[in-house]
């Protein structure tokens, strides 16, 4: 309630897992604002929360209320529309508001730091250092490296750390007087007159022009699906949509998948626009993240490119949102606030009354359905831009064929052809390690993770067994645990083994493996990709890390080695993902006027999904998949909520979920004609990291009903006797059913 009088009570959302807010007294010297941070006592701790209301009334008696300790912000950290978005998120995804708000803040603000630009340290060469560089440093390799890195100008402290330089080396060099630290706040200059580099712009084709004109004519909310095959010039469309926004002084938000944030992508935006293009991803340190956040909020950044969580960045004047590769699974957060960044982005655009563009070569079935039903506008790019030609796709029946490291003889022959022509080959195998199974050759015993319902993966390089689900690892068993035999054998092929085999099959060609194991260290992925671009390697082995965002102009053959498991999965989205992967991987090849070829090894060449993909295209596949979903009443034709429970004792989770089921089914809003609850059943991985896992799936035909039902049933579920004894969670519109 607004009042002229100094409000006496503030309602505060705190980062605690409770669906409620807390009232505090406002001391006379404090002037909290709605949407600003305050620090308050909570039990024995001091917490930082966000003020959601100011007034004079509380349900609690004033003598039990405690006073606010301090006010951290003089103005709200978010705009009213963004605050409304968080409230919506909290309700839609059934996650406490206090936690939702806290999650959306950069860590520095969450910890109570001032919402002010932090100083960043940079290093530069002194003249003594420059002299030293000329003379050479002999054996001090690290020191020489620093001097060389600084030769052409200053570098940020973080960049040097990323280059594997230790703090100690920097200190030593500083003591010697060869380098100098500069601490400064980022300079936030007004945007220049000329915002765009016209020389960088290609002549647009007809489809691109139509898409741009259509979206540019929109000055309010509108959602556009931009469906365009890989290389059809979607990014060029984004750039052309952003330019006029910048000219009006408005900013742009570009969301990209986790692995799509490549240096090439960033460079493309930076070289085109003269305004600050600021990157936001999980690799930023606290200071960098705060500065990026502030540069968007205060209007210094023209473009923010970021991964999922960049969606929650405040902007001074946001003009457009772009979600690239909108189908990508990394847009769904799998824990805490289980939001889908694409869906929330659409909501944000509608609150802010601005256009949003969802781009993909392989739209998610949900998005496609929204476009087909007219909820979203549908724009297509059917031609590959420039001189690139479509790939030819082929299925290779490997039934009964001998496989060498997972490769069939016909594929090896094909590889030889491409390699001899001086081209690169990309082999796609979505399985890390040497082999997924270690088995006793005499009795068939298999090495299992003791904490999970899963087999150990054998890693030859480190001579370890590793569980890819809980991360546990142990030395390789030399002997069978069952019969004592020493004849342990591997089954199946992972990327390590493929690499070893390729060295024997093609000793004259260099192979590089790019997966999570080989690129664990910061910067190794970039240097590997650069080496590939320079042509230092002939064969690339990759997991799904390589399926997106990267362009390999010299690759003319792509081989997919093992896709059969996705054809027969318990997850109804597996076929959609395989289709998307196939199109994405195929899009890596033949971009630069060299015709590309895609070969897919399978035991099921007749499978309808593969046929639809090969003979026709993604759209054809998607239409038949949508038809199947409709018959089965699966999303987007119904709405799911997944309840999960984990516990050390096997029965607890099941019992709890049975109570949840009952709670839902007797609820007045639960209409048995349009709502159903499946389960409880063991999760597809019934045990993980020592915990037994159960799940329950609720299906409704209407989204509002699902919402209302969850809102009103959740407090009841929270009070169930077993709710405090198991670890449970609720995933609205889940993407991962495991
Ligand atoms: P996508 O984002 O759909 O994969 P890009 O926008 O990256 O496609 O375009 C692929 C390549 O074609 C890029 O090198 C880009 O510079 C170029 N390109 C895009 N549009 C055109 C055009 N109209 N004429 C010539 N080249 C273009
Ligand atoms: Zn045995
Ligand atoms: Zn495990």
Q: Per the domain annotation, does 195 fall within a domain?
A: no
Q: Per the domain annotation, does 201 fall within a domain?
A: no
pLDDT tens digits for range 392-447: 888 999 999 999 989 999 999 999 999 999 999 999 998 899 999 999 999 999 99
Residue 388: which pLDDT band, with cuts at 50, 70 and 90? low
pLDDT, mean of residues 208-230? 92
pLDDT score for 608: 82
What burial class does residue 37 get, using C-beta atoms within 10 Å of its C-beta: 0-12 exposed, 13-18 middle, 19+ buried? buried
Q: What's the 3-state SS for 388-457?
A: CCCCEEEEEECCCCCEECCEEHHHHHHHHHHHHCCCEEEEECCCCCCECEEEECCCCCECECCCCCCECE
Is 440 labeled as ligand-binding? yes
- C-alpha 540 to ligand 1 mean position (Å): 24
pLDDT score for 5: 67
Checking if the pLDDT of 506 tops 70, the result is yes
Q: Per the domain annotation, does 262 fall within a domain?
A: yes
Checking if the pLDDT of 575 tops 90, the result is no
Residues 319, 251: Cα–Cα separation, whole Å: 5
Find the helix or strand (DSSP H, E) in which 601 lies.
strand 597-602
Task: For a ligand 1 pocket test, name from 206, 225, 385 the mutation site with the most ligand atoms within 8 angstroms of its C-beta.
Answer: 385
Residues 466, 601: Cα–Cα separation, whole Å: 27
Q: Per the domain annotation, does 45 fall within a domain?
A: yes
pLDDT, mean of residues 369-374? 96
684 shares its domain with 717: yes
Q: Which domain holds residue 91?
A: 9-111
Residues 256, 201: Cα–Cα separation, whole Å: 22
Q: In this structure, how many other beta carbons lie within 10 angstroms of the beta carbon of residue 187? A: 8
Among the atoms of ligand 1, which is closest to the Cα of residue 204? 23
Residues 614, 621: Cα–Cα separation, whole Å: 9
- What order do you get walking across the sheet with 277-280 strand by strand? 277-280, 303-306, 251-255, 318-324, 355-360, 222-228, 377-381
55 shares its domain with 128: no
pLDDT score for 22: 95
238 shares its domain with 331: yes
pLDDT, mean of residues 593-609? 86
* Domain CATH number, residue 497: 3.40.50.300
141 shares its domain with 244: no
Residue 3: which pLDDT band, with cuts at 50, 70 and 90? very low
pLDDT, mean of residues 556-569? 86
Q: Per the domain annotation, does 477 fall within a domain?
A: no
* Domain CATH number, residue 690: 3.30.70.600
Q: Is the CB of 228 under 6 A from ligand 1?
A: yes
pLDDT tens digits for range 96-127: 999 999 999 999 999 998 888 877 788 989 98
Provide the mean pLDDT of the chain: 90
Question: Which pair of tokens denotes residue 738?
Answer: 């495991």
* Domain CATH number, residue 30: 3.40.1440.60
Angle ∠(712,718,722) on CA atoms, nearest 5: 140
Is 89 labeled as ligand-binding? no
Local structure of 108: helix, strand or coil:
helix
Q: Which residue has the higher pLDDT, 187 or 142?
A: 142
pLDDT score for 593: 65
Checking if the pLDDT of 642 tops 70, the result is yes
pLDDT score for 138: 74
pLDDT tens digits for range 296-310: 999 999 999 999 999
Taking the alpha carbons at both ends of the chain, their separation in whole angstroms is 46
pLDDT score for 304: 97
Q: How many domains does the chain have?
A: 5
Checking if the pLDDT of 180 tops 80, the result is yes
596 shares its domain with 674: no
Q: Does the CA dihedral 104-108-113-119 come out positive or negative?
A: negative
Q: Which residue has the higher pLDDT, 51 or 231?
A: 51
pTM: 0.88
Residue 1: which pLDDT band, with cuts at 50, 70 and 90? very low
In sequence order, the β-bridge partners of residue 508 are none
Q: Per the domain annotation, does 303 fall within a domain?
A: yes
- Can you say how many angstroms the Cα of residue 276 is from the centroid of all Cα atoms in its chain? 23
Checking if the pLDDT of 147 tops 60, the result is yes
Q: Per the domain annotation, does 236 fall within a domain?
A: yes
- C-alpha 688 to ligand 3 mean position (Å): 6
What burial class does residue 120 get, using C-beta atoms within 10 Å of its C-beta: 0-12 exposed, 13-18 middle, 19+ buried? middle
pLDDT tens digits for range 233-285: 999 999 999 999 999 999 999 999 987 777 778 889 998 999 999 999 888 88
pLDDT, mean of residues 366-394? 87
564 shares its domain with 705: no
Q: Is the CB of 385 under 6 A from ligand 1?
A: yes
Question: Which pair of tokens denotes residue 376?
Answer: 């979203």
pLDDT score for 591: 57
Answer whether 54's CB lies under 8 Å from 34's CB.
Answer: yes
Residues 378, 373: Cα–Cα separation, whole Å: 10
Q: Is the CB of 386 under 6 A from ligand 1?
A: yes
Is 483 labeled as ligand-binding? yes
Residue 85: which pLDDT band, with cuts at 50, 70 and 90? very high
559 shares its domain with 599: yes
622 shares its domain with 645: no
Residue 585: which pLDDT band, with cuts at 50, 70 and 90? confident
Q: Hey, whose CA ends up nearest to atom 12 of ligand 1?
A: 385
130 shares its domain with 261: no
pLDDT score for 200: 73
pLDDT, mean of residues 43-56? 93
82 shares its domain with 217: no
- C-alpha 235 to ligand 1 mean position (Å): 7
Q: Is the CB of 202 under 6 A from ligand 1?
A: yes
Q: Which parts of 229-281 are beta strand (E)? A: 251-255, 277-280
Q: Per the domain annotation, does 4 fall within a domain?
A: no
Write phi, then psi, for 356 (nearest 5 degrees): -135, 140
The mean-pLDDT minimum among 52-66, 130-144, 325-339, 656-670 falls in: 130-144
Local structure of 642: helix, strand or coil:
strand
288 shares its domain with 356: yes
pLDDT tens digits for range 610-631: 888 877 688 889 998 999 999 9
558 shares its domain with 662: no
């Amino acid at each position: 309630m607004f009042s002229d009088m100094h409000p006496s009570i503030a309602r505060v959302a705190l980062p605690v897992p409770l669906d409620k807010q807390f009232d505090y007294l406002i001391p006379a010297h404090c002037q909290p604002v709605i949407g600003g941070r305050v620090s308050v006592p909570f039990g024995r701790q001091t917490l930082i929360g966000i003020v959601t209301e100011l007034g004079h009334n509380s349900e609690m008696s004033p003598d039990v209320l405690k006073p606010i300790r301090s006010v951290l912000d003089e103005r709200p950290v978010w705009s009213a529309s963004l605050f409304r978005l968080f409230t919506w998120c909290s309700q839609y995804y059934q996650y406490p508001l206090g936690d939702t708000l806290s999650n959306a803040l950069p860590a520095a603000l969450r910890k109570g730091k001032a919402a002010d630009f932090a100083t960043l340290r940079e290093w530069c060469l002194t003249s003594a250092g420059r002299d030293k560089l000329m003379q050479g440093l002999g054996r001090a390799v690290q020191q020489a490296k620093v001097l060389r890195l600084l030769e052409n100008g200053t570098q940020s402290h973080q960049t040097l750390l990323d280059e594997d330089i230790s703090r100690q080396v920097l200190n030593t060099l500083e003591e010697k007087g060869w380098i100098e630290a500069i601490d400064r706040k980022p300079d936030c200059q007004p945007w220049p007159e000329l915002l765009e580099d016209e020389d960088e712009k290609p002549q647009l084709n007809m489809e691109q022009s139509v898409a741009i004109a259509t979206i540019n004519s929109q000055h309010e909310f509108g959602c556009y699906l931009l469906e365009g095959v890989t290389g059809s010039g979607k990014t060029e469309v984004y750039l052309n949509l952003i330019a006029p926004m910048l000219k009006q002084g408005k900013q742009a938000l570009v969301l990209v998948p986790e692995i799509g944030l490549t240096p090439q992508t960033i460079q493309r935006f930076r070289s085109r626009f003269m305004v600050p293009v600021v990157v936001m991803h999980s690799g930023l340190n606290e200071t960098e993240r705060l500065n990026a956040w502030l540069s968007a909020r205060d209007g210094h950044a023209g473009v923010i490119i970021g991964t999922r969580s960049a969606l929650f960045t405040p902007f001074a004047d946001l003009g457009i949102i772009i979600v690239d590769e909108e189908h990508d699974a990394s847009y769904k957060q799998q824990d805490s606030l289980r939001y889908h960044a694409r869906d929330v982005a659409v909501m944000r655009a509608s609150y802010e009354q601005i256009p949003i563009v969802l781009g993909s070569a392989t739209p998610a079935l949900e998005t496609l359905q929204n476009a087909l039903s007219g909820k979203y506008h549908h724009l297509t790019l059917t031609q590959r831009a420039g001189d690139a030609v479509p790939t030819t796709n082929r299925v290779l029946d490997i039934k009964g064929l001998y496989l060498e490291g997972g490769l069939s003889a016909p594929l090896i022959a094909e590889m030889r052809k491409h390699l001899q022509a001086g081209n690169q080959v990309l082999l796609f195998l979505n399985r890390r390690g040497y082999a997924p199974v270690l088995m006793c050759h005499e009795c068939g015993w298999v090495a299992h993770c003791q904490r999970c319902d899963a087999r150990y993966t054998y890693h030859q390089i480190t001579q370890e067994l590793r569980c890819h689900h809980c991360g546990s690892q142990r030395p390789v068993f030399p002997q069978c645990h069952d019969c004592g035999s020493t004849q342990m054998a591997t089954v199946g092929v992972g990327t390590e083994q493929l690499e070893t085999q390729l060295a024997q099959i093609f000793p004259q060609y260099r192979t590089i493996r790019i997966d999570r194991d080989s690129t664990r260290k910061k910067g190794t992925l970039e240097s590997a990709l650069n080496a590939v671009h320079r042509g230092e390697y002939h064969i690339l082995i990759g997991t799904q890390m390589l399926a997106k965002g990267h362009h390999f102009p010299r690759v003319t053959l792509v081989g997919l080695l093992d896709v059969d498991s996705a054809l027969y999965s318990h997850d109804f989205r597996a076929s959609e993902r395989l289709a998307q992967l196939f199109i994405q991987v195929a899009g890596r090849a033949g971009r630069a006027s060299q015709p590309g070829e895609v070969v897919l090894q399978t035991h099921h060449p007749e499978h309808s999904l593969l046929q639809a993909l090969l003979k026709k295209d993604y759209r054809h596949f998607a239409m038949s998949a949508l038809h199947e979903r409709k018959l089965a009443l699966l999303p987007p034709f119904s709405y799911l909520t997944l309840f999960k429970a984990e516990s050390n004792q096997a029965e607890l989770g099941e019992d709890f979920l049975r109570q949840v089921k009952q709670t839902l089914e007797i609820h007045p809003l639960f209409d048995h004609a349009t709502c159903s609850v499946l389960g409880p059943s063991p999760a597809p991985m019934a045990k993980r990291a020592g915990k037994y896992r159960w799940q329950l799936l609720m299906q409704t035909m209407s989204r509002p009903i699902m919402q209302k039902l969850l809102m009103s049933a959740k407090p009841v579920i929270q009070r169930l006797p077993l709710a405090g004894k198991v670890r449970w969670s609720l995933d609205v519109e889940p993407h991962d059913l495991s």
